[in-house]
């Protein structure tokens, strides 16, 4: 029996016996085809060190570096589009084969239609002092205004990449498929650099930028910038502060993307909703997660304890491999789920 047939059998059975009560939990593996990397590879080993809440809140220099990395990386996250896995899961939800959708991902590629985002979303920013929420796109434009040299660097990197791409009007960078206009940074100029009468670039920054490209998009939506900091071609980055008016003046609190950094606790509302959904489930389907993070793994162990069957679709090792009550399907979700939708149709 093929992977697709195995999964179709389980979903059909759950749909017939527990209609609307299949819970789907997704991890970073469902977004890799959209150009967003995962923290772990096929062996479950970390590809990048995660960001800790303690370091972010307690160290201004750390925050400045994080926001610089995020400023350069966020346009790729914001411009990423749902892939075949996202579309297949949405189709299964519309047809009633999946009820509750829980995700570990912070890219919002599942949309905002009743999705439990365990680790938050990069699309919003929260003040740690007054709890004000601001859209990430708004903050991106603030950062562009406050850091013009970094904005220039980004613009020229986008132009340089656009001259290398084969696809018309589409930029392939860092594994992501991104709109060339980078719409979330409306203030940036993506036009070619200015040339003198001899055809040489006016100024010296463009030449230095050209040899120092944007590197390695990270799962949290930021990029590596050590090579930029070491050369000193860009000035120190200015982090955003809360703009709200409180008492007689501005709050000025620390702004943080509304995502869960390591060392933070999950929102209790999300924890309780996920518990209720799992306790009432007829089937738990895990897609694209190694389940290494405890917040995801405990959903699986809770389901097992409640007598709920668990099916894990993931390419490579997971923490649930070998657990009693777990059916492991070792495969790419982008290969399996679209065919699954066709069979169930």
Q: Which residues are catalytic?
A: 119
Query: Alpha helix locations (H) across the chain?
Result: 3-17, 53-58, 60-79, 84-94, 136-146, 148-162, 205-210, 226-231, 268-279, 294-305, 333-344
What is d(CA 339, CA 315) in angstroms, rounded to the nearest whole number? Answer: 16
Q: Are strands 176-179 and 326-329 parallel, antiparallel or unpaired?
A: unpaired
In order of 17, 55, 155, 324, the CA distances from 264 in angstroms are 38, 11, 34, 30
What is d(CA 100, CA 78) in angstroms, rounded to the nearest whole number? Answer: 25
What is d(CA 275, CA 118) in angstroms, rounded to the nearest whole number? Answer: 12
Strand partners, 254: 241
What is d(CA 177, CA 273) in angstroms, rounded to the nearest whole number? Answer: 33
For residue 40, what is the DSSP state?
B
Q: Which two tokens stand for residue 223?
A: 């990029």
Q: Is 110 within 8 Å of 90 (Cβ atoms)? A: yes
Q: Which of 154, 158, 194, 193 is nearest to 178 (CA)?
A: 158
Q: Is 26 within 8 Å of 287 (Cβ atoms)? A: yes
Q: Is 329 within 8 Å of 7 (Cβ atoms)? A: yes
What is d(CA 229, CA 214) in angstroms, rounded to the nearest whole number? Answer: 12
């Amino acid at each position: 029996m093929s992977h697709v047939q195995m999964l179709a059998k389980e979903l059909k059975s759950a749909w017939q016996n527990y209609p609307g009560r299949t819970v789907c939990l997704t991890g970073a593996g469902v977004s890799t085809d959209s150009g967003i990397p995962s923290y772990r590879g096929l062996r479950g080993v970390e590809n990048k060190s995660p960001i800790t809440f303690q370091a972010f809140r307690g160290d201004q220099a750390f925050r400045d570096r994080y926001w610089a990395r995020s400023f350069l990386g966020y346009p790729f996250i914001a411009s990423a589009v749902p892939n075949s896995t996202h579309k297949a899961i949405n189709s299964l939800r519309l047809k009633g084969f999946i009820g509750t959708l829980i995700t570990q991902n912070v890219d919002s590629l599942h949309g905002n239609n009743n999705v439990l985002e365990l680790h938050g979303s990069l699309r919003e920013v929260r003040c740690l002092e007054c709890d004000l929420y601001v859209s990430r796109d708004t903050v991106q434009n603030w950062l562009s205004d406050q850091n013009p040299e970094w904005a220039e660097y980004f613009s020229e990197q986008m132009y340089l990449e656009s001259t290398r791409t084969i696809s018309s009007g589409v930029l392939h960078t860092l594994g992501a498929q991104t709109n060339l206009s980078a719409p979330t940074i409306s203030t940036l100029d993506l036009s070619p650099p200015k040339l003198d009468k001899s055809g040489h670039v006016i100024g010296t920054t463009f030449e230095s930028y050209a040899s120092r490209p944007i590197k390695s998009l990270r799962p949290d939506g930021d990029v590596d910038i050590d090579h930029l900091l070491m050369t000193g071609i860009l000035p120190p980055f200015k982090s955003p502060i809360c703009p709200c008016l409180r008492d007689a003046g501005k709050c000025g609190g620390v702004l943080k993307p509304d995502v869960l950094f390591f060392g933070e606790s999950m929102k209790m509302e999300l924890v309780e909703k996920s518990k209720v959904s799992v306790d009432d489930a007829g089937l738990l389907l895990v897609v694209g997660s190694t389940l290494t993070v405890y917040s995801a793994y405990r959903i699986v162990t809770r389901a097992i304890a409640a007598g709920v069957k668990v099916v894990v679709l993931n390419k490579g090792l997971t923490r649930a491999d070998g657990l009693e009550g777990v059916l492991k399907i070792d495969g790419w979700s982008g290969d399996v789920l679209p065919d699954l939708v066709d069979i169930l149709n």
